[in-house]
């Protein structure tokens, strides 16, 4: 009898284990996605909005994505195609996605296109759209109805959540034994347009009511952890601990945005709770950026934006990640906004360019990112040797090494162009001078008017005087900090020697103090599945400028194992 009970318990535990294939864990200061028991970096691509709307497209696209080096595809799940008649569901496209992804060795992140997609309710079924009295819309201040379902309507929520839950139950049943689905996005770029908030009668009434005590308690208890924007906005009105939305946050569109963010987040939290009870994989929401000088309502107001992180975390604690969709300039600044102490970085959408390979190196090295995913990925090239494909392939190879060192304060990311071409890193008593490879004089593309492609990569400190340098189009010099302070940088001629007249005059020379850092060896390596290295070749002489620097040329994607030494 005892043996039978133990067998039953073992079977139950095995069943639970197979039902939970993706989760999050803390590793040092990083949050990691764990898939099939191992830390996992999403080298992804998001399909165009209509590219998973028929089986033939899925069959055609997914093999190409595998050839591009992806390990994950982000795929819309369309409410209108799933429930064309109220209460009658068709999950055949979901089944096709799962079947084809498995056949091509891809993981899947599903994007629920439900009540809102880029603010609008365009993916709601026709029966929902036509019955606007049962499923009300939002209104501008002038009373204009919008093609945006009301976040204040219980009927809207029930219809959306019913379809979402039915779909997710099907996913759970179809995927528990396979673990193909590793994350789920709830809605898409949620937010208000035209106005900063809904001005329907119910919304106006709630705006005149008291701010929920949960939010006020969060503001009061967060202290220095509060986002600077929210701290300033709250303090500007006296840091009140009770009052209406206008009394606590003011009477402007920014107060309107905070109010609307609370209610959008409350809606999403209920969806997230339903998801947790059905198939407990990591959940995220994505935001269209508040960029280009636009104000709330000119961009999708009240979405899961960085400056609203406190509102979203307080109202939607079941959501794991607030994620940015990046299509604007200023990539470094945008990703830094979303790498917060309480929010790991995951980029579900970025404009697809060949530069995304080096940008992936940068976000993994600098921000311990979970993943990156260019949009409309099927339009990209799968040609071997292109910068994007080579970058993804090398990052897949490096995954065991990267995940080992995430969160250990031993990795740095590099990203350069013709305007931002140098970064100085201080690591203990060493100074690392990192630059775009075109800053070297002997590549003619540096000075012939050619556009500088982004150069980028990452550096990992493995041990004292031992580093990995990886990426494309970068050069790194190592020096003792005291050495750096005593050595003026000399202009170089195209032969690599000092340019005429760039040396110091003899009279200006002073006695040298301290030791110097030398490059002992630079080996190009392959990273093996256990994180160890397979030697490929030694790079010496001209390839490291006779021991002066470590470099990876523009157009090459390499992993270099560097050992340093000291001498006097």
pTM, to two decimals: 0.93
> Which of 405, 438, 471 is the last residue before a domain boundary?
405
What is the rounded distance in angstroms from the CA atom of residue 365 to the CA atom of residue 61?
Answer: 30
Residue-averaged pLDDT of the chain:
93
Q: What is the pLDDT of residue 490?
A: 59
What is the rounded distance in angstroms from the CA atom of residue 173 to the CA atom of residue 186?
Answer: 19
Asked if the model's pLDDT at residue 257 lies above 70, the reply is: yes
Q: What is the pLDDT of residue 179?
A: 96
Mean per-residue pLDDT for 14-26? 68
Looking at the structure, do residues 401 and 471 belong to the same domain, yes or no? no
Q: What is the pLDDT of residues 160-208, one digit of tens each?
A: 999 999 999 999 999 999 999 999 999 999 999 999 999 999 999 999 9
Mean per-residue pLDDT for 46-70? 98
Confidence band of 16 (pLDDT split at 50, 70, 90): very low
Burial of 250 by CB count in 10 Å (0-12 exposed, 13-18 middle, 19+ buried)?
middle
Looking at the structure, do residues 270 and 401 belong to the same domain, yes or no? yes
Is there a domain that residue 234 lies in?
no
Looking at the structure, do residues 421 and 382 belong to the same domain, yes or no? no
Is there a domain that residue 14 lies in?
no
Mean per-residue pLDDT for 69-86? 98
Mean per-residue pLDDT for 309-323? 98
Is there a domain that residue 474 lies in?
yes
Q: What is the pLDDT of residue 5?
A: 43
Looking at the structure, do residues 350 and 467 belong to the same domain, yes or no? no
Helix%, strand%, coil% for the chain, nearest 5: 35, 30, 35
Following DSSP, what letter does each residue of 270-302 receive, concatenated? Answer: HHHHHHHHH----EEEEEE---TT--BTTB-BT
Least confident interval from 107-111, 142-146, 247-251, 439-443: 439-443
Sign of CA dihedral 55, 60, 65, 67: positive
Is there a domain that residue 250 lies in?
no
Number of residues that make up the chain:
568
* Structure tokens that stand for 316 in this block: 């939607």
**Continuous segment of H or E residues that includes residue 96:** helix 92-103
What is the rounded distance in angstroms from the CA atom of residue 92 to the CA atom of residue 54?
Answer: 10
Is there a domain that residue 486 lies in?
yes
Q: What is the pLDDT of residue 485?
A: 75
Identify the CATH number of the domain in which residue 164 sits.
3.20.20.80
Mean per-residue pLDDT for 414-440? 96
Looking at the structure, do residues 154 and 301 belong to the same domain, yes or no? yes
Mean per-residue pLDDT for 428-436? 97
What is the rounded distance in angstroms from the CA atom of residue 427 to the CA atom of residue 412?
Answer: 10
Looking at the structure, do residues 497 and 556 belong to the same domain, yes or no? yes
Asked if the model's pLDDT at residue 6 lies above 50, the reply is: no
Confidence band of 234 (pLDDT split at 50, 70, 90): very high
> Which of 405, 426, 445 is the last residue before a domain boundary?
405
Asked if the model's pLDDT at residue 385 lies above 50, the reply is: yes
Q: What is the pLDDT of residues 459-469, one digit of tens each?
A: 999 999 999 99
Looking at the structure, do residues 267 and 366 belong to the same domain, yes or no? yes
Q: What is the pLDDT of residue 220?
A: 97
Looking at the structure, do residues 288 and 150 belong to the same domain, yes or no? yes
The number of folded domains in the chain is 2
Looking at the structure, do residues 447 and 526 belong to the same domain, yes or no? yes
Q: What is the pLDDT of residues 396-417, one digit of tens each?
A: 999 999 999 999 999 999 999 9
Is there a domain that residue 390 lies in?
yes
Asked if the model's pLDDT at residue 496 lies above 80, the reply is: no
Q: Parallel, antiparallel, or unpaired for β 550-552 and 474-480?
A: antiparallel
Looking at the structure, do residues 58 and 169 belong to the same domain, yes or no? yes
Q: What is the pLDDT of residue 493?
A: 59
Asked if the model's pLDDT at residue 507 lies above 60, the reply is: no
Q: What is the pLDDT of residue 13?
A: 42
What is the rounded distance in angstroms from the CA atom of residue 190 to the CA atom of residue 117?
Answer: 7
Range of 464's domain? 411-567
Q: What is the pLDDT of residues 271-291, one digit of tens each?
A: 999 999 999 999 999 999 999
Q: What is the pLDDT of residues 352-375, one digit of tens each?
A: 999 999 999 999 999 999 999 999
Sign of CA dihedral 311, 313, 318, 322: positive
Confidence band of 502 (pLDDT split at 50, 70, 90): low
Identify the CATH number of the domain in which residue 556 sits.
2.60.220.20
């Amino acid at each position: 009898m005892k043996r039978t009970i133990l067998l039953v318990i073992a079977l139950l535990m095995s069943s639970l284990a197979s039902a939970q294939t993706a989760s999050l864990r803390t590793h040092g200061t990083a949050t990691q996605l764990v898939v099939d028991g191992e830390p996992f970096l999403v080298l992804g691509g998001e399909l165009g909005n209509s590219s998973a709307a028929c089986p033939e497209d899925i069959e055609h696209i997914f093999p190409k994505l595998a050839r591009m080096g992806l390990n994950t595809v982000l795929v819309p799940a369309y409410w209108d195609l799933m429930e064309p008649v109220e209460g009658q569901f068709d999950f055949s496209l979901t089944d096709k996605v799962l079947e084809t992804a498995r056949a091509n060795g891809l993981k899947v992140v599903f994007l629920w296109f439900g009540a809102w997609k880029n603010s609008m309710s365009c993916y709601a079924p026709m029966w929902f759209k036509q019955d606007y009295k049962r499923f009300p819309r939002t209104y501008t201040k002038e009373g204009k109805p919008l093609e945006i379902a009301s976040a204040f309507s219980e009927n809207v929520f029930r219809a959306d959540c019913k379809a979402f839950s039915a779909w997710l139950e099907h996913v759970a049943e179809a995927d528990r034994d396979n673990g193909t689905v590793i994350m789920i996005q709830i809605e898409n770029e949620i937010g208000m347009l035209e106005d900063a908030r809904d001005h329907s009668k119910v919304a106006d009434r709630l705006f005149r009511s008291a701010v929920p005590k949960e939010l006020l308690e969060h503001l009061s208890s967060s202290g220095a952890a509060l986002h600077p924007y929210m701290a300033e906005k709250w303090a500007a009105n006296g840091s009140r601990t009770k009052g209406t939305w206008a009394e606590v946050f003011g009477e402007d569109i920014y107060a309107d945005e905070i109010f609307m963010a609370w209610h959008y987040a409350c809606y999403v939290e209920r969806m997230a709770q339903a998801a947790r009870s059905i198939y407990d994989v990591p959940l995220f929401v994505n935001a269209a950026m508040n960029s280009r000088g636009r104000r709330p309502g000119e961009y999708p107001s009240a979405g899961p934006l960085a400056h609203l992180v406190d509102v979203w975390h307080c109202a939607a604690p079941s959501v794991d990640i607030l994620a940015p969709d990046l299509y604007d300039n200023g990539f470094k600044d945008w990703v830094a906004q979303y790498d917060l102490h309480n929010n790991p970085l995951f980029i579900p959408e970025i404009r697809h360019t060949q530069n995304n390979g080096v940008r992936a190196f940068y976000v993994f090295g600098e921000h311990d990112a979970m993943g990156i995913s260019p949009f409309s990925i099927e339009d990209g090239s799968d040609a071997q040797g292109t910068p994007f494909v080579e970058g993804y392939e090398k990052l897949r190879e490096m995954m065991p090494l990267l995940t080992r060192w995430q969160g250990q304060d031993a990795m740095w990311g590099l990203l350069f162009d013709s305007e931002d071409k140098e970064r100085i890193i201080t690591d203990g008593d060493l100074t690392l001078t990192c630059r775009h490879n075109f800053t070297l004089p002997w590549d003619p593309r540096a000075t012939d008017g050619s556009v500088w492609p982004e150069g980028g990569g990452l550096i990992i400190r493995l041990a004292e005087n031992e580093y990995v340098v990886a990426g494309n189009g970068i050069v790194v010099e190592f020096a003792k900090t005291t050495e750096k302070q005593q050595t003026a940088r000399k202009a170089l001629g195209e032969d690599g020697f000092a340019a005429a007249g760039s040396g110091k005059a003899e009279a200006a020379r002073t006695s040298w103090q301290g030791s110097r850092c030398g490059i002992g060896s630079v080996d190009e390596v392959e990273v093996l599945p256990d994180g160890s290295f397979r030697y490929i070749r030694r790079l010496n002489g001209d390839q490291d400028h006779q021991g002066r620097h470590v470099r990876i040329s523009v157009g090459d994607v390499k992993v270099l194992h560097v050992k340093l030494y000291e001498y006097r």
